[in-house]
Amino acid sequence: MYRTPPWVQRCADARRGRRSEVVVEGVQALKHALRFGGEPIGIWSHQPRELLRLAQTLAPDIAPTLTTALTPAQEEDIRRACGGTLPPSPVVALFRKPRWGPTAVYRARGPHLLLVGLTHPGNLGACIRIAAAFRMASVVCLGTPSPWHTLVVRAAAGLQWAIPIAYHPKEAAPSLLPKLQPLALLAATPAAQPIAPTTPLPHNGWFAFGGERHGIPQEVARFAASTYTIPMREGVSSINVASAVAVVAYLLSQQTA
């Protein structure tokens, strides 16, 4: 009688948030998790030759690790480990969740990103990916999905291992926000001064973004030293939050270049 391997159940538990472990699906996310020091517990593929070919093409720097750590698996086990669907490329892995200390998250010099009330895992992951790409100091998620959710990891292309990250439920706002001091908090709000390439931005501060529907809640906005908005064509109500983060991250990178 066939028995499901223990690692499949372990992945299923991690997907439900029951472990201090993270499921990583697909070559892109796996590439960054390994490249930025992630600790793999196991890596499995139902097409090991295809996976190694992809790694040699897309990320030859991780190919030696894959060659050593990769374990062939049945396609159905991969499907079960991934919640019933096959990943975008033939690999699933289980990683230990990084442990970022308070100093790395809240006190490192540089611009920090505060994401408030985002609900879509894809948007959250895209914001993390942008923050890592533009060398922001950290990302703090307040009242969002877990940044370690499998869909968020996939959308961030595994760059959760490249930047310090913390997660807090929305109820933690009163105790969290004072921790951000003395760094300036800038909040993106509709009724604010339009931001421009010449707008001076603090290179050692917090930049807060909310979801498109509700924006920054008042209990967060009242801590802001200043607010800003991104000017857009008349009639366009909003842009995707990750696009807004990218605009500000790019302006910051140009001002610090």
Give the pTM: 0.93
Question: Which domain range does residue 145 map to?
Answer: 102-256
- 71 shares its domain with 108: no
- Asked whether residue 1 is domain-assigned, the answer is no
Spans in the chain with pLDDT lower than 50: none
- 233 shares its domain with 123: yes
- 53 shares its domain with 82: yes
pLDDT (0 to 100) of residue 2: 62
83: alpha, beta or left? (left if phi > 0; alpha if psi -120 to 50): left
- Asked whether residue 151 is domain-assigned, the answer is yes
- 130 shares its domain with 242: yes
Residue 240 burial (CB count, 10 A): 14
- 139 shares its domain with 231: yes
**Could you write out the DSSP letters of every residue in 199-240?**
S---TTSEEEEEBTTTBS-HHHHTT-SEEEE----TT-----
Domain boundary among 96, 126, 144: 96
Cα–Cα distance measured from residue 238 to residue 190, given in angstroms and rounded to the nearest whole number: 9
- Asked whether residue 70 is domain-assigned, the answer is yes
- 81 shares its domain with 165: no
- 129 shares its domain with 211: yes
Cα–Cα distance measured from residue 153 to residue 187, given in angstroms and rounded to the nearest whole number: 25
- 111 shares its domain with 14: no
Domain boundary among 78, 96, 114: 96
- Asked whether residue 109 is domain-assigned, the answer is yes
- 151 shares its domain with 191: yes
Q: For tokens 């499907």, what's the residue?
A: 79
pLDDT (0 to 100) of residue 191: 66
pLDDT (0 to 100) of residue 257: 61
Cα–Cα distance measured from residue 154 to residue 87, given in angstroms and rounded to the nearest whole number: 10
- 158 shares its domain with 237: yes
Q: What is the CATH number of the domain that holds 59?
A: 3.30.1330.30
Instruction: Supply the mean pLDDT for the chain.
Output: 89
- Asked whether residue 63 is domain-assigned, the answer is yes
pLDDT (0 to 100) of residue 35: 96
pLDDT (0 to 100) of residue 183: 61
Domain count, the chain: 2
CA 188 to chain centre: 19
pLDDT (0 to 100) of residue 238: 78
- 14 shares its domain with 115: no
Q: Which residues, at least 6 apart from 66, have a Cβ–Cβ distance to it below 8 Å?
A: 43, 51, 52, 55
pLDDT (0 to 100) of residue 135: 95
Q: For tokens 């105790």, what's the residue?
A: 175
- Asked whether residue 143 is domain-assigned, the answer is yes
Domain boundary among 29, 64, 96: 96
Q: What is the CATH number of the domain that holds 201?
A: 3.40.1280.10
- 213 shares its domain with 230: yes
